[in-house]
A = this chain, B = another copy of it.
Amino acid sequence: MTDSPKPASLGHRLMARLDEAARHSRPGPGVTRLFCSDEHRAVLAPIADWMRQAGLSPELDASGNLVGRNERARRGERTLIMGSHQDTVVEGGKYDGMLGVALPLQALQALREAGSELPYGVEVVAFGDEEGTRFQSTLIGSRALAGTFDPASLAARDADGTTLGEALEAFGGKPQEIPRLARRPASVIGFVEVHIEQGPVLERRDHAVGVVTALTGIERHRLVVRGKAGHAGTTPMPGRRDALVGAAAMVGEADRILNATQDLVGVVGKLEVRPNAVNVIPAEVHFTLELRSPDAAVRERGREQIIGACRRLARARGLELRDERTYQAEAVACADWLVEALESACRACDEPAERLFSGAGHDGLAMHDLTDIGMLFVRCRDGLSHHPDEAISVADAERATRVLMRFLVDLGATVRAGGPA
Protein backbone atom coordinates (compact mmCIF):
# COMPACT_ATOMS: atom_id res chain seq x y z
CA MET A 1 0.00 0.00 0.00
CA THR A 2 1.39 3.38 -1.00
CA ASP A 3 0.26 6.90 -0.07
CA SER A 4 0.01 9.42 -2.86
CA PRO A 5 2.70 12.04 -2.27
CA LYS A 6 1.43 14.89 -0.07
CA PRO A 7 2.27 18.44 -1.06
CA ALA A 8 5.35 19.58 0.88
CA SER A 9 4.46 21.33 4.14
CA LEU A 10 4.98 25.08 4.60
CA GLY A 11 7.93 24.28 6.86
CA HIS A 12 9.61 22.03 4.33
CA ARG A 13 9.09 24.51 1.53
CA LEU A 14 10.59 27.30 3.64
CA MET A 15 13.59 25.17 4.64
CA ALA A 16 14.19 24.24 0.98
CA ARG A 17 14.28 27.93 0.08
CA LEU A 18 16.73 28.68 2.90
CA ASP A 19 18.96 25.84 1.67
CA GLU A 20 18.75 27.26 -1.86
CA ALA A 21 19.80 30.74 -0.67
CA ALA A 22 22.67 29.25 1.36
CA ARG A 23 24.22 27.83 -1.82
CA HIS A 24 25.06 31.40 -2.80
CA SER A 25 28.08 31.64 -0.55
CA ARG A 26 31.80 32.03 -0.76
CA PRO A 27 33.48 28.59 -0.62
CA GLY A 28 34.23 27.42 2.90
CA PRO A 29 32.24 26.31 5.95
CA GLY A 30 28.76 27.80 6.51
CA VAL A 31 27.50 30.81 4.59
CA THR A 32 29.63 33.84 3.71
CA ARG A 33 27.70 36.36 1.66
CA LEU A 34 28.94 39.92 1.83
CA PHE A 35 27.31 43.16 0.72
CA CYS A 36 27.63 43.86 -3.05
CA SER A 37 29.53 40.60 -3.64
CA ASP A 38 29.02 38.12 -6.47
CA GLU A 39 27.14 35.93 -3.99
CA HIS A 40 24.87 38.86 -3.09
CA ARG A 41 24.10 39.35 -6.79
CA ALA A 42 23.47 35.62 -7.28
CA VAL A 43 21.05 35.31 -4.35
CA LEU A 44 18.85 38.09 -5.75
CA ALA A 45 17.50 35.80 -8.48
CA PRO A 46 15.83 33.24 -6.19
CA ILE A 47 14.58 35.99 -3.83
CA ALA A 48 13.05 37.90 -6.76
CA ASP A 49 11.41 34.66 -7.81
CA TRP A 50 9.93 34.11 -4.30
CA MET A 51 8.66 37.70 -4.38
CA ARG A 52 6.85 37.14 -7.67
CA GLN A 53 5.29 33.94 -6.31
CA ALA A 54 4.09 35.99 -3.32
CA GLY A 55 2.46 38.54 -5.61
CA LEU A 56 5.14 41.21 -5.17
CA SER A 57 7.11 43.05 -7.86
CA PRO A 58 10.85 42.91 -7.14
CA GLU A 59 13.17 45.85 -7.72
CA LEU A 60 16.79 46.58 -6.73
CA ASP A 61 16.89 49.97 -5.03
CA ALA A 62 19.66 52.58 -5.07
CA SER A 63 21.17 51.29 -1.79
CA GLY A 64 21.40 47.62 -2.81
CA ASN A 65 18.15 46.44 -1.18
CA LEU A 66 15.94 44.08 -3.14
CA VAL A 67 12.42 45.43 -2.52
CA GLY A 68 9.22 43.55 -3.40
CA ARG A 69 5.92 45.46 -3.33
CA ASN A 70 2.34 44.35 -3.79
CA GLU A 71 0.01 46.36 -5.98
CA ARG A 72 -1.46 48.40 -3.10
CA ALA A 73 2.04 49.41 -2.01
CA ARG A 74 2.94 50.43 -5.55
CA ARG A 75 -0.27 52.48 -5.69
CA GLY A 76 0.82 54.40 -2.56
CA GLU A 77 -1.52 52.84 0.02
CA ARG A 78 -0.27 52.64 3.61
CA THR A 79 2.18 49.79 3.71
CA LEU A 80 3.46 47.19 6.16
CA ILE A 81 7.19 46.67 5.61
CA MET A 82 8.70 43.30 6.45
CA GLY A 83 12.10 41.85 5.78
CA SER A 84 15.60 41.34 7.05
CA HIS A 85 19.15 41.26 5.70
CA GLN A 86 20.67 39.09 3.01
CA ASP A 87 24.27 39.45 4.26
CA THR A 88 26.08 37.21 6.73
CA VAL A 89 29.16 37.26 8.89
CA VAL A 90 32.17 35.30 7.61
CA GLU A 91 31.30 31.60 7.97
CA GLY A 92 27.86 32.34 9.32
CA GLY A 93 24.68 30.28 9.04
CA LYS A 94 21.66 29.88 6.79
CA TYR A 95 19.07 31.60 8.99
CA ASP A 96 20.42 34.82 10.50
CA GLY A 97 18.88 37.41 8.16
CA MET A 98 17.60 35.21 5.35
CA LEU A 99 14.85 33.69 7.53
CA GLY A 100 13.34 37.20 7.81
CA VAL A 101 13.26 37.49 4.01
CA ALA A 102 12.10 33.99 3.10
CA LEU A 103 9.51 33.48 5.86
CA PRO A 104 7.28 36.51 5.12
CA LEU A 105 7.46 35.72 1.40
CA GLN A 106 6.40 32.14 2.13
CA ALA A 107 3.57 33.42 4.35
CA LEU A 108 2.37 35.87 1.70
CA GLN A 109 2.48 33.17 -0.98
CA ALA A 110 0.49 30.76 1.22
CA LEU A 111 -2.15 33.44 1.86
CA ARG A 112 -2.30 34.20 -1.84
CA GLU A 113 -2.64 30.50 -2.70
CA ALA A 114 -5.48 30.33 -0.16
CA GLY A 115 -7.19 33.22 -1.93
CA SER A 116 -6.79 35.61 1.01
CA GLU A 117 -6.18 39.20 -0.10
CA LEU A 118 -4.60 41.68 2.29
CA PRO A 119 -6.33 45.07 2.34
CA TYR A 120 -3.09 47.09 2.78
CA GLY A 121 0.21 47.69 1.07
CA VAL A 122 2.87 45.06 1.68
CA GLU A 123 6.56 45.35 1.04
CA VAL A 124 9.27 42.80 1.77
CA VAL A 125 12.88 43.99 1.76
CA ALA A 126 16.07 41.96 1.52
CA PHE A 127 18.37 44.55 3.05
CA GLY A 128 21.83 44.56 1.50
CA ASP A 129 23.87 45.05 4.65
CA GLU A 130 23.15 44.58 8.31
CA GLU A 131 26.15 42.64 9.63
CA GLY A 132 28.69 45.19 8.42
CA THR A 133 31.11 42.37 7.65
CA ARG A 134 32.60 43.88 4.53
CA PHE A 135 32.72 47.62 5.28
CA GLN A 136 32.38 47.66 9.10
CA SER A 137 29.53 50.04 8.36
CA THR A 138 26.14 48.61 9.10
CA LEU A 139 22.40 49.09 8.42
CA ILE A 140 22.99 50.91 5.10
CA GLY A 141 19.72 49.66 3.57
CA SER A 142 17.45 50.19 6.57
CA ARG A 143 18.93 53.64 7.21
CA ALA A 144 18.21 54.50 3.56
CA LEU A 145 14.51 53.70 4.03
CA ALA A 146 14.43 55.49 7.39
CA GLY A 147 16.00 58.62 5.88
CA THR A 148 18.98 58.49 8.24
CA PHE A 149 21.58 57.33 5.72
CA ASP A 150 24.94 59.07 6.26
CA PRO A 151 26.70 59.72 2.91
CA ALA A 152 30.03 59.63 4.78
CA SER A 153 29.65 55.85 5.04
CA LEU A 154 30.15 55.61 1.25
CA ALA A 155 33.85 56.27 1.90
CA ALA A 156 34.24 53.17 4.12
CA ARG A 157 36.70 50.72 2.59
CA ASP A 158 36.78 46.94 2.55
CA ALA A 159 39.95 44.90 3.13
CA ASP A 160 40.95 45.36 -0.54
CA GLY A 161 40.61 49.14 -0.40
CA THR A 162 37.38 49.31 -2.41
CA THR A 163 34.99 51.95 -1.06
CA LEU A 164 31.39 51.15 -0.26
CA GLY A 165 30.38 53.74 -2.88
CA GLU A 166 32.45 52.04 -5.59
CA ALA A 167 31.21 48.58 -4.67
CA LEU A 168 27.60 49.73 -4.63
CA GLU A 169 27.92 51.42 -8.01
CA ALA A 170 29.50 48.31 -9.55
CA PHE A 171 26.65 46.28 -8.04
CA GLY A 172 24.05 48.42 -9.81
CA GLY A 173 23.18 50.70 -6.91
CA LYS A 174 23.07 54.49 -7.20
CA PRO A 175 24.87 56.01 -4.23
CA GLN A 176 23.82 59.54 -5.13
CA GLU A 177 20.15 58.61 -5.13
CA ILE A 178 20.06 56.90 -1.72
CA PRO A 179 18.61 59.95 0.07
CA ARG A 180 15.56 59.70 -2.22
CA LEU A 181 14.75 56.25 -0.81
CA ALA A 182 13.54 57.75 2.48
CA ARG A 183 9.91 56.79 3.11
CA ARG A 184 7.27 59.17 4.39
CA PRO A 185 6.35 58.01 7.90
CA ALA A 186 2.65 58.54 7.16
CA SER A 187 2.86 56.03 4.33
CA VAL A 188 4.09 53.21 6.55
CA ILE A 189 2.01 51.06 8.90
CA GLY A 190 5.00 49.56 10.66
CA PHE A 191 8.02 47.31 10.24
CA VAL A 192 7.95 43.67 11.26
CA GLU A 193 11.03 41.46 11.24
CA VAL A 194 11.23 37.71 11.78
CA HIS A 195 14.64 36.58 13.03
CA ILE A 196 16.27 33.63 14.75
CA GLU A 197 16.67 34.35 18.45
CA GLN A 198 20.49 33.98 18.45
CA GLY A 199 20.20 32.97 22.09
CA PRO A 200 18.95 30.03 24.18
CA VAL A 201 15.90 31.58 25.88
CA LEU A 202 13.20 30.04 23.64
CA GLU A 203 14.95 26.69 23.73
CA ARG A 204 15.02 26.79 27.54
CA ARG A 205 11.32 27.75 27.60
CA ASP A 206 10.56 25.10 24.96
CA HIS A 207 8.75 27.69 22.84
CA ALA A 208 8.95 27.81 19.03
CA VAL A 209 8.54 31.59 18.87
CA GLY A 210 8.78 34.66 21.11
CA VAL A 211 7.64 38.25 20.83
CA VAL A 212 10.33 40.88 21.19
CA THR A 213 9.66 43.84 23.48
CA ALA A 214 12.80 45.86 22.81
CA LEU A 215 16.15 45.84 21.10
CA THR A 216 18.73 46.15 23.81
CA GLY A 217 20.72 49.30 24.54
CA ILE A 218 24.49 48.87 24.30
CA GLU A 219 27.45 50.65 25.79
CA ARG A 220 31.10 49.80 25.32
CA HIS A 221 34.12 50.88 27.32
CA ARG A 222 37.84 50.64 26.85
CA LEU A 223 39.70 50.24 30.15
CA VAL A 224 43.43 50.60 30.58
CA VAL A 225 45.12 49.25 33.70
CA ARG A 226 48.63 50.54 34.20
CA GLY A 227 51.11 48.95 36.61
CA LYS A 228 54.86 48.54 36.52
CA ALA A 229 56.87 46.20 34.35
CA GLY A 230 59.69 44.31 35.99
CA HIS A 231 61.93 41.28 35.63
CA ALA A 232 59.72 38.38 36.64
CA GLY A 233 62.64 36.51 38.17
CA THR A 234 64.27 39.23 40.22
CA THR A 235 61.29 41.22 41.50
CA PRO A 236 59.97 39.76 44.78
CA MET A 237 56.23 39.07 44.88
CA PRO A 238 55.38 41.63 47.59
CA GLY A 239 55.21 45.11 46.14
CA ARG A 240 54.65 44.08 42.53
CA ARG A 241 52.19 46.19 40.56
CA ASP A 242 51.15 43.55 38.06
CA ALA A 243 48.59 45.04 35.65
CA LEU A 244 47.30 41.60 34.64
CA VAL A 245 46.69 40.44 38.20
CA GLY A 246 44.67 43.64 38.65
CA ALA A 247 42.78 43.27 35.38
CA ALA A 248 42.01 39.62 36.19
CA ALA A 249 40.37 40.69 39.45
CA MET A 250 38.34 43.28 37.49
CA VAL A 251 37.16 40.67 34.97
CA GLY A 252 36.06 38.45 37.85
CA GLU A 253 34.23 41.25 39.62
CA ALA A 254 32.46 42.36 36.41
CA ASP A 255 31.27 38.80 35.84
CA ARG A 256 30.03 38.53 39.43
CA ILE A 257 28.02 41.76 39.17
CA LEU A 258 26.60 40.83 35.76
CA ASN A 259 25.45 37.46 37.07
CA ALA A 260 23.79 39.12 40.03
CA THR A 261 21.86 41.69 37.99
CA GLN A 262 18.49 41.02 36.30
CA ASP A 263 18.06 42.21 32.69
CA LEU A 264 21.74 43.02 32.22
CA VAL A 265 24.28 41.09 30.19
CA GLY A 266 27.86 41.99 29.45
CA VAL A 267 31.26 40.72 28.56
CA VAL A 268 34.95 41.47 28.64
CA GLY A 269 35.49 40.19 25.11
CA LYS A 270 38.84 41.70 24.25
CA LEU A 271 41.91 41.86 26.46
CA GLU A 272 45.51 42.61 25.59
CA VAL A 273 48.64 42.53 27.75
CA ARG A 274 51.78 44.64 27.36
CA PRO A 275 54.60 43.81 26.92
CA ASN A 276 53.09 40.27 26.81
CA ALA A 277 56.34 38.40 27.40
CA VAL A 278 56.70 35.16 29.31
CA ASN A 279 59.24 36.60 31.79
CA VAL A 280 58.13 40.22 32.24
CA ILE A 281 55.63 41.46 34.83
CA PRO A 282 52.70 42.89 32.83
CA ALA A 283 52.92 46.68 32.74
CA GLU A 284 49.64 47.42 31.03
CA VAL A 285 46.40 45.68 30.20
CA HIS A 286 43.80 47.04 27.80
CA PHE A 287 40.36 45.50 27.87
CA THR A 288 36.86 46.17 26.65
CA LEU A 289 33.65 46.02 28.66
CA GLU A 290 30.34 45.75 26.85
CA LEU A 291 27.01 46.08 28.68
CA ARG A 292 23.54 45.52 27.25
CA SER A 293 20.12 45.99 28.76
CA PRO A 294 16.65 46.85 27.45
CA ASP A 295 16.45 49.23 30.44
CA ALA A 296 18.82 52.22 30.41
CA ALA A 297 18.63 52.64 34.20
CA VAL A 298 19.68 49.03 34.77
CA ARG A 299 22.57 49.42 32.35
CA GLU A 300 23.74 52.64 33.99
CA ARG A 301 23.54 51.19 37.49
CA GLY A 302 25.45 48.11 36.31
CA ARG A 303 28.11 50.27 34.71
CA GLU A 304 28.57 52.31 37.89
CA GLN A 305 28.87 49.19 40.01
CA ILE A 306 31.38 47.52 37.70
CA ILE A 307 33.57 50.53 36.96
CA GLY A 308 33.40 51.51 40.65
CA ALA A 309 34.61 48.03 41.62
CA CYS A 310 37.42 48.25 39.06
CA ARG A 311 38.52 51.57 40.53
CA ARG A 312 38.63 50.15 44.05
CA LEU A 313 40.60 47.11 42.84
CA ALA A 314 43.08 49.36 41.03
CA ARG A 315 43.55 51.60 44.07
CA ALA A 316 44.11 48.63 46.37
CA ARG A 317 46.90 47.36 44.11
CA GLY A 318 48.61 50.65 43.30
CA LEU A 319 47.45 50.48 39.69
CA GLU A 320 46.27 53.30 37.48
CA LEU A 321 42.91 52.87 35.74
CA ARG A 322 41.54 54.78 32.79
CA ASP A 323 38.03 54.25 31.43
CA GLU A 324 36.70 55.60 28.18
CA ARG A 325 33.19 55.00 26.79
CA THR A 326 33.67 54.16 23.12
CA TYR A 327 30.11 53.44 22.03
CA GLN A 328 26.58 53.89 23.23
CA ALA A 329 23.24 53.11 21.59
CA GLU A 330 20.02 53.45 23.52
CA ALA A 331 17.52 50.63 23.64
CA VAL A 332 14.70 50.74 21.09
CA ALA A 333 11.25 49.61 22.19
CA CYS A 334 8.93 47.64 19.97
CA ALA A 335 5.50 49.30 19.58
CA ASP A 336 2.94 48.03 22.10
CA TRP A 337 0.33 47.48 19.40
CA LEU A 338 2.70 45.33 17.36
CA VAL A 339 3.80 43.36 20.44
CA GLU A 340 0.16 42.73 21.29
CA ALA A 341 -0.81 41.90 17.70
CA LEU A 342 2.03 39.37 17.43
CA GLU A 343 1.11 37.87 20.82
CA SER A 344 -2.49 37.61 19.78
CA ALA A 345 -1.48 35.83 16.56
CA CYS A 346 0.61 33.38 18.64
CA ARG A 347 -2.34 32.67 20.95
CA ALA A 348 -4.59 32.10 17.95
CA CYS A 349 -2.09 29.51 16.69
CA ASP A 350 -1.82 27.86 20.15
CA GLU A 351 1.77 29.02 20.46
CA PRO A 352 2.81 29.80 24.03
CA ALA A 353 4.79 32.90 23.04
CA GLU A 354 6.21 34.85 25.92
CA ARG A 355 7.92 38.19 25.63
CA LEU A 356 11.71 38.53 25.54
CA PHE A 357 14.14 41.23 24.61
CA SER A 358 16.68 41.15 21.86
CA GLY A 359 20.27 41.28 23.04
CA ALA A 360 21.44 41.88 19.48
CA GLY A 361 20.94 44.83 17.16
CA HIS A 362 18.79 44.44 14.03
CA ASP A 363 17.50 46.43 11.07
CA GLY A 364 14.73 47.53 13.42
CA LEU A 365 17.25 49.82 15.18
CA ALA A 366 17.26 51.96 12.02
CA MET A 367 13.62 51.40 11.03
CA HIS A 368 12.52 52.64 14.48
CA ASP A 369 13.43 56.15 13.29
CA LEU A 370 10.81 55.78 10.56
CA THR A 371 7.97 53.78 12.05
CA ASP A 372 6.68 51.41 14.74
CA ILE A 373 8.61 48.17 14.85
CA GLY A 374 7.78 44.63 15.91
CA MET A 375 9.86 41.44 15.94
CA LEU A 376 9.08 37.76 16.07
CA PHE A 377 11.91 35.49 17.25
CA VAL A 378 12.21 31.86 16.16
CA ARG A 379 13.95 29.29 18.38
CA CYS A 380 17.39 28.26 17.11
CA ARG A 381 19.36 25.18 18.16
CA ASP A 382 21.68 25.70 21.15
CA GLY A 383 21.07 29.44 20.83
CA LEU A 384 23.79 29.39 18.22
CA SER A 385 24.23 32.03 15.50
CA HIS A 386 27.06 33.49 13.44
CA HIS A 387 28.23 29.91 12.98
CA PRO A 388 27.93 27.24 10.26
CA ASP A 389 25.98 25.05 12.72
CA GLU A 390 23.19 27.63 13.11
CA ALA A 391 19.92 25.66 12.84
CA ILE A 392 16.15 25.82 13.22
CA SER A 393 13.71 22.92 12.99
CA VAL A 394 11.25 22.30 10.14
CA ALA A 395 8.43 22.26 12.67
CA ASP A 396 9.42 25.68 14.07
CA ALA A 397 9.73 27.10 10.56
CA GLU A 398 6.17 25.98 9.91
CA ARG A 399 4.82 27.25 13.26
CA ALA A 400 6.45 30.66 12.84
CA THR A 401 5.10 30.97 9.29
CA ARG A 402 1.58 30.23 10.50
CA VAL A 403 1.92 32.85 13.27
CA LEU A 404 2.98 35.47 10.76
CA MET A 405 0.12 34.52 8.39
CA ARG A 406 -2.33 34.94 11.24
CA PHE A 407 -0.79 38.29 12.16
CA LEU A 408 -1.12 39.48 8.52
CA VAL A 409 -4.74 38.41 8.29
CA ASP A 410 -5.66 39.95 11.66
CA LEU A 411 -3.93 43.18 10.65
CA GLY A 412 -6.23 43.19 7.62
CA ALA A 413 -9.25 43.16 9.95
CA THR A 414 -7.73 46.00 11.98
CA VAL A 415 -7.06 48.05 8.85
CA ARG A 416 -10.56 47.42 7.57
CA ALA A 417 -11.87 48.63 10.92
CA GLY A 418 -9.94 51.88 10.43
CA GLY A 419 -6.77 51.08 12.51
CA PRO A 420 -4.09 50.80 13.58
CA ALA A 421 -4.24 54.26 15.08
Residues of A with Cβ closer than 8 Å to B?
197-201, 216, 218, 220, 230-239, 242, 244-245, 247-249, 251-252, 255, 258-259, 265-273, 276-282, 288, 290, 292, 358-361, 383-386
Q: A234-B385, A259-B237 are in contact. Are A270 and B277 (CB under 8 A)?
A: yes
Which residues of chain B come closer than 8 Å to A249, judged between CB atoms?
Answer: 248, 252
Nearest chain B residue, comparing its CB with the CB of A197: B234
Specify which of A235, A272, A281 lies most central, judged by the most chain B CB atoms within 10 Å of its CB.
Answer: A235
B234 touches A359 (CB 8 A): yes
Q: A248-B248, A251-B245 are in contact. Are A235 and B359 (CB under 8 A)?
A: yes
Q: Which of B198, B259, B276, B290 contacts A234 (CB 8 A)?
A: B198
The CA-CA distance from A292 to B237 in the complex, in Å, is: 11
Extra A-B contacts (12), CB below 8 Å, given A197-B234, A232-B359, A247-B248: A198-B231, A199-B234, A231-B359, A231-B386, A234-B359, A234-B360, A236-B265, A237-B258, A238-B259, A245-B255, A270-B276, A271-B273
Which residues of chain B come closer than 8 Å to A232, judged between CB atoms?
Answer: 265-267, 269, 290, 292, 359
The CA-CA distance from A273 to B286 in the complex, in Å, is: 12
Which residues of chain B come closer than 8 Å to A247, judged between CB atoms?
Answer: 248
Q: A230-B383, A255-B245 are in contact. Are A220 and B267 (CB under 8 A)?
A: no
The smallest beta-carbon distance between A369 and chain B, in angstroms, is 20
A200 touches B233 (CB 8 A): no
A383 touches B234 (CB 8 A): yes
The smallest beta-carbon distance between A377 and chain B, in angstroms, is 10
Which residues of chain B come closer than 8 Å to A290, judged between CB atoms?
Answer: 232-233, 278-279
B201 touches A236 (CB 8 A): yes
B270 touches A278 (CB 8 A): yes
The CA-CA distance from A252 to B279 in the complex, in Å, is: 17
The CA-CA distance from A383 to B384 in the complex, in Å, is: 51
Q: A244-B251, A252-B248 are in contact. Are A200 and B236 (CB under 8 A)?
A: yes
The CA-CA distance from A249 to B250 in the complex, in Å, is: 10
Which residues of chain B come closer than 8 Å to A383, judged between CB atoms?
Answer: 230, 234-235
Which residues of chain B come closer than 8 Å to A292, judged between CB atoms?
Answer: 232-233
The CA-CA distance from A266 to B230 in the complex, in Å, is: 12
Specify which of A200, A265, A269, A358 lies most central, judged by the most chain B CB atoms within 10 Å of its CB.
Answer: A269
B252 touches A281 (CB 8 A): no
Nearest chain B residue, comparing its CB with the CB of A96: B231
The CA-CA distance from A252 to B251 in the complex, in Å, is: 10
Which residues of chain B come closer than 8 Å to A199, judged between CB atoms?
Answer: 231, 233-236
A244 touches B266 (CB 8 A): no
The smallest beta-carbon distance between A105 and chain B, in angstroms, is 25
Chain A to chain B contacts (Cβ below 8 Å), 9 pairs: A231-B386, A232-B267, A232-B269, A235-B383, A244-B251, A245-B252, A245-B268, A269-B273, A278-B290
The CA-CA distance from A31 to B244 in the complex, in Å, is: 28
The CA-CA distance from A277 to B282 in the complex, in Å, is: 21
Nearest chain B residue, comparing its CB with the CB of A233: B359
**What are the 10 closest A-B residue pairs judged by CB atoms, nearest first?**
A233-B359, A199-B234, A248-B251, A248-B248, A232-B267, A234-B359, A198-B234, A278-B288, A245-B255, A233-B360
